[in-house]
Amino acid sequence: MNQSQNSPFFPEERETILNLLRDLNHDLGKYLTLALRFLPSDAGDSELSDTVADSLHRTRNHQDRHESAESIWHRYRAELDPHIKTPYFPEQTWNDLAAAMSKVLSWGKRLPVTCAQRPEIHDDFFRVPALIKQLIKELS
């Protein structure tokens, strides 16, 4: 089996990784930030706290259950783990994503939040999909 000229991964492995990262971007990146995107700029502390809590604890809503950001993150980490250990995986970006997720998940321990924290919350939450997209770009 020959390796791809564009990537040090075998083509099948590269495509598997990219598919997992695209799914992670959809399941976590999109839904983690969705409620924050639609939160009115004049929302109060209570509404912001509820939105942060929902984004963390009810990130992905399925017909009969909710999936938390932490659960989604751990599920994809487990699937990506064998690939992360290869020397060609963009380790620094992955480590940045892991640190960003830790920071996002820490907001759950800081509830309730105030509107004064909204810019920091926004930056922390929106950094996650940006880093996932960066990983996809680096592996493409």
Domain range enclosing 86: 11-139
Give a yes or no: residue 124 inside a domain. yes
How far apart CA 140 and CA 135 sit, in angstroms, is 9
Percentage of the chain beyond pLDDT 70 is 94
Give a yes or no: residue 90 inside a domain. yes
- Burial class (CB within 10 angstroms; exposed 0-12, middle 13-18, buried 19+) of 52: buried
Determine the straight-line distance between the first and last CA of the chain, rounded to whole angstroms.
20
State whether the Cα torsion 82-88-89-92 is positive or negative: positive
Q: What is the dihedral of CA 96, 13, 82, 21, to 10 degrees?
A: 40
Give a yes or no: residue 1 inside a domain. no
Give a yes or no: residue 131 inside a domain. yes
Residue 2 clears pLDDT 80, i.e. is over it: no
Q: What is the pLDDT of residue 47?
A: 98
Domain count, the chain: 1
Instruction: Tell me which H or E stretch contains 52.
Output: helix 45-57
**Residue 4: band (very low, low, confident or very high) from pLDDT cuts 50, 70, 90:** very low
